Amino acid sequence: MTGEQRRFLLFRIGKSRYAIALQDVTEVRDPLPEFPIPRAPDFLRGVVNIHGTLVPVLDQPLFLGQKQALPCGELLVLNRADVALALSVERVEKIVTESAILGEEPEAGETAVSTTLFLEDGSAQLLSVIRLLRAVEEALSG
């Protein structure tokens, strides 16, 4: 793995553009039938059946502070052994390698966004999966 460049999956939620490390995503799926979770907060859309496993779907726009949920265009299934979670996103754009990144600016605070990536065609907010999971856990326990 030495010499390999990091790769990022770029996706959109409304007018915002985000990135996630490709290694943190198991698969990208079309929306699946969702089943509600009783008494769950609004940012949990429900659960879906992915390869025989019930996986909660995080409504990414609501969780990141958008006023209302946007239609789910695609699901990003996280690649985590310790937690099953899918992210609802509006649209996946493309995969870029770190050589396409012109610059980075770390984000202050403990939000799910760790860094802003500057690319030739604009910028993207890089999600930290660890920070995202921590924020979800805090929101569910608080």
Tracing tokens 């990414």 back to the chain, one arrives at 60
b/e per residue 44-69 (b: at least 16 CB within 10 A)? bbbbbebeeeebbbbbbbbbbeeeee
2 is a domain residue = no
pLDDT at 93: 96
Alpha-carbon distance 117 to 119, whole Å? 6
1 is a domain residue = no
81 is a domain residue = yes
pLDDT at 24: 96
* Residue 129 belongs to domain spanning: 7-141
CA 125 to chain centre: 11
Alpha-carbon distance 4 to 2, whole Å? 6
Q: How many domains does the chain have?
A: 1
Q: pLDDT for 56-114, tens place per residue?
A: 999 877 887 776 666 778 999 999 888 899 999 989 999 999 999 999 999 887 688 89
Alpha-carbon distance 127 to 120, whole Å? 19
- What's 29's domain CATH number? 2.40.50.180
pTM of the model: 0.89
Q: pLDDT for 19-51, tens place per residue?
A: 999 999 999 999 999 999 999 998 999 999 999
Q: pLDDT category, 3, cuts 50, 70, 90?
A: low
136 is a domain residue = yes
Residue 127 and residue 19 in contact, taking contact as beta carbons nearer than 8 Å: yes
Tracing tokens 């958008």 back to the chain, one arrives at 66
